[in-house]
Every structure is written in C-alpha cells, then in structure tokens.
Amino acid sequence: MTVNDVIIVEVPSAIDAAAMFKSGNAVDAAVVWSPDDDECVKAVKGAWRLTSTKEAPFIIADGFYAKRDFVNERFDDLVKMVEAWMVGASEINTNVAAKNEAIRILVEGLGVTEEIAMNAINNVRLCTFEDNLNFFGLNTSYQGITGEQLYLKTGELYRQVGMVSGTLPAWRQVSNTRLLQRINLSGSQHAAWDRGSFGKSQTDLAKAQTFSTKPVSVVFASGSWKLDFNAMSVIDREADEMKLFANLGISIEGNTDNTGSYEANQSVSLKRAQAVADYLVREHGIDRHRIIVKGNGWNNPIATNDTPDGRAQNRRTDFKLLK
C-alpha cells in the first residue's frame, strides 16, 4: 500500500474529522486532536491509534500565518504578541494555576466539558521560545527535525496524493524568523523540550511491538562492514524519520545472501548493523539507547538466493521503529 492508494477527504477541522470517523462508515482513518483520539477509539469497534505526536515530539502542529504587508506594517505589535504567546505557553507548561485558567478558557470557548478540556491540555506540551528557535533553524547545534525538513517531507507526500500542484515554494519564501530574532527570553521555563535518556532497556526493545518496517538497501563490499559514501547517503535519507519519531525505539537488522559460511554471514550481518547504528549516533545525534542491533545472516531472505538479483535483494539492512 502506498499514499497513492489513499483517498483524502477534506473537512473544515479536526473536530469534524473525529465526528466523521466516529460515524463508523464514512472514513477508514482520520487525523484528529487529543482527546478526540480516545473518543474515536471508544466509539468504533476495533479502532486503534496509529501514532501521535507523543511518538514524534519534534513536530510543531500549529503556526501563525500572515501576509507580508501586514507583518511589515504591524511588526512591533506582532513581536509583542509572539513574545506574550511564548510567555503564556511557558506558564501553562510549568504553572498549575495558569493551566487551570487555560482549561477554563477552553471550556467556555469550545463548549466542551471540563474533563475533555483537562485531558486535552494535559496531553500536550506547548512549544516554548527555544522550541521555536530549534524549529526555525536558529539554533545551529540542534539535531532534531526542523520546520524546513518537515515542510519538504510533507510537501512531497501531499504532492503524491494530488493535494499540491506545481512547484512547492521554498521554505524561506513561506517562513519568517524576524519576529523570533527580536525576542529574548531566558530561563528554564523557556527551554526546549529535553528528551532525556530513552526510557526503554535493550530487553524492552527486544520485546517491543513493531511500529513500521522499512527494508533499506545499504550496500557493502563483499565481506566488509565499512560504510562507503553511497551507504552513508542512503542512511542519511532515512535518518530524518528516525529523528522525527524521537520517542520510538529503532531496530537495525543486517541480512546477507547465502554466499560463504553460516558463521561468517552471522558475524558480518551483525557488524554491518552495528556500523549503521554507530553512524546514526555519530552523524545524526540519535540516542544510542534507542537502538537495538541484530545480525540475521542468511536466515531472513526476501528473495531467492538462486539468482544474482535475488541475492542482491537479500543483502540488505532493515530499519524498524519500535513502540
């Protein structure tokens, strides 16, 4: 199944998307807000949550958009507004009284129950000033997903399902960092999200449920586990997805064809998987605790070993994201 097999149904809001899904027969899947996701799972028998931004915490879900002329005319006012927004977000994240006030505003503004509003605000982390500096590429030491990377990746996906036509505008044409650069906020309450140490042990990862599997052709010279430039380029293309889903584990499995002895293939496949893991840690800042490596040798073929083409397919590295 590919994105071309999906029919996109547009609705005015995430609330409408949840209502359509809960009707039971209008759509097969929906992108909704929290806590509507819990209500959807309860309402439709056999439904389950595919993923959420808890698994992909570097995604900033909402943003401000304005015409260039308006930004230029009201620049100073907009600086004050954005700064106030950043301060408010930090207060809701760190202050119980501020969070309770936000819950009250949600109840009155959206007409939802206090329980729903409380669940919604307790299930999110509002983006801070430093989160925004990272997202908009203003922190040169940041190694997570940036807005530009997300924009280009999702833009291509939208193109594949026919929701984008023509040339995708460059990121610099649709983003503006002047407001953020005028703001100066400091203190722990304004700090970026700290992922800390990955919470699962290697034993836990070995038992974890597979979230997604992607066979990747990382090619090695015969009997070698040294990464060449082409292999590095392949890994670089996959690294963004691993960084995006920063709260998921990563399984890297090396596989071989049946050329050579069983023992040699077991050893080489493990060393190749480890070489890929080391590269992700060193070059992309992936937390080593997220990664589990395995060498399958020739035990997990996806094609026949009786032909050159089949053997080439079997000399692969599989990436799995683990929940």
**For residue range 63-93, what is the model confidence (pLDDT) as tens digits?**
889 999 999 999 999 999 999 999 999 999 9
> Is residue 92 a contact partner of residue 121, using CB atoms and an 8 Å limit?
yes
Is 127 among the domain residues?
yes
If asked whether residues 239 and 218 sit together in one domain, one would say: yes
| Range from 131-145, 208-222, 231-245, 307-321 carrying the lowest mean pLDDT | 208-222
If asked whether residues 182 and 217 sit together in one domain, one would say: no
Picking from 157, 190, 223, the residue at the C-terminal end of a domain is 190
194, two tokens: 């700290």
| Residue 31 scores a pLDDT above 80 | yes
- Dihedral sign, Cα of residue 11, residue 14, residue 15, residue 18: positive
Q: DSSP for 110-121?
A: H---HHHHHHHH
The structure's pTM equals 0.74
**197: confidence class by pLDDT, cuts 50, 70, 90:** low
How much is the average pLDDT of 94-118?
91
97, two tokens: 């009284």
**For residue range 171-187, what is the model confidence (pLDDT) as tens digits?**
999 999 999 999 999 99
Structural domain boundaries, residue 117 = 68-190
How much is the average pLDDT of 199-222?
76
Give every CB contact of residue 83 below 8 A, 6+ residues apart in sequence: 183, 185
User: How far is the C-alpha of 50 from the C-alpha of 31, rounded, in Å?
Assistant: 10
If asked whether residues 73 and 185 sit together in one domain, one would say: yes
Is 23 among the domain residues?
yes
The mean predicted confidence, pLDDT, of the chain is 88
**Percent of the chain's residues with pLDDT above 70:** 97
If asked whether residues 218 and 296 sit together in one domain, one would say: yes
**For residue range 133-171, what is the model confidence (pLDDT) as tens digits?**
999 999 998 888 899 988 998 888 888 877 888 888 999
If asked whether residues 134 and 31 sit together in one domain, one would say: no
Is 157 among the domain residues?
yes
Give the other-Cβ count within 10 Å of 4's Cβ: 8
221, two tokens: 């010279």
Looking at residue 217, its pLDDT comes to 75
**For residue range 240-275, what is the model confidence (pLDDT) as tens digits?**
888 888 888 999 999 999 999 999 999 999 999 999
If asked whether residues 209 and 184 sit together in one domain, one would say: no
| Residue 32 scores a pLDDT above 80 | yes
| Residue 212 scores a pLDDT above 90 | no
Looking at residue 258, its pLDDT comes to 92
With H, G, I as helix, E, B as strand and everything else as coil, classify residue 185.
coil
With H, G, I as helix, E, B as strand and everything else as coil, classify residue 293.
strand
Looking at residue 270, its pLDDT comes to 95
If asked whether residues 181 and 219 sit together in one domain, one would say: no
Which helix or strand (DSSP H or E) is residue 295 part of? Answer: strand 291-295
Q: What is the CA radius of gyration of the chain?
A: 23
CATH number at residue 297: 3.30.1330.60
**Percent of the chain's residues with pLDDT above 90:** 51
If asked whether residues 276 and 225 sit together in one domain, one would say: yes
If asked whether residues 180 and 210 sit together in one domain, one would say: no
Q: Tell me which residue has tokens 């050579």.
A: 260
Is 56 among the domain residues?
no
Overall number of domains in the chain: 3
User: How far is the C-alpha of 61 from the C-alpha of 5, rounded, in Å?
Assistant: 25
| Residue 188 scores a pLDDT above 90 | yes
Alpha carbon of residue 289 to chain centroid: 18
Is 58 among the domain residues?
no
If asked whether residues 139 and 168 sit together in one domain, one would say: yes
Give every CB contact of residue 114 below 8 A, 6+ residues apart in sequence: 103, 107
| Residue 5 scores a pLDDT above 90 | no
CA angle (51, 57, 62) in 5-degree steps: 90
Picking from 160, 190, 220, the residue at the C-terminal end of a domain is 190
Q: How far is CA 172 from CA 151, 156, 182, 189, 267, in A?
A: 11, 17, 18, 29, 47
Picking from 146, 162, 190, the residue at the C-terminal end of a domain is 190
Judged on CB neighbours under 10 Å (0-12, 13-18, 19+), 47 is middle
How much is the average pLDDT of 31-54?
88
> Is residue 162 a contact partner of residue 4, using CB atoms and an 8 Å limit?
no
Is 195 among the domain residues?
no
If asked whether residues 72 and 173 sit together in one domain, one would say: yes
Which helix or strand (DSSP H or E) is residue 282 part of? Answer: helix 262-284
If asked whether residues 16 and 108 sit together in one domain, one would say: no
Is 314 among the domain residues?
yes
Q: Which of 269, 251, 266 is nearest to 315 (CA)?
A: 269
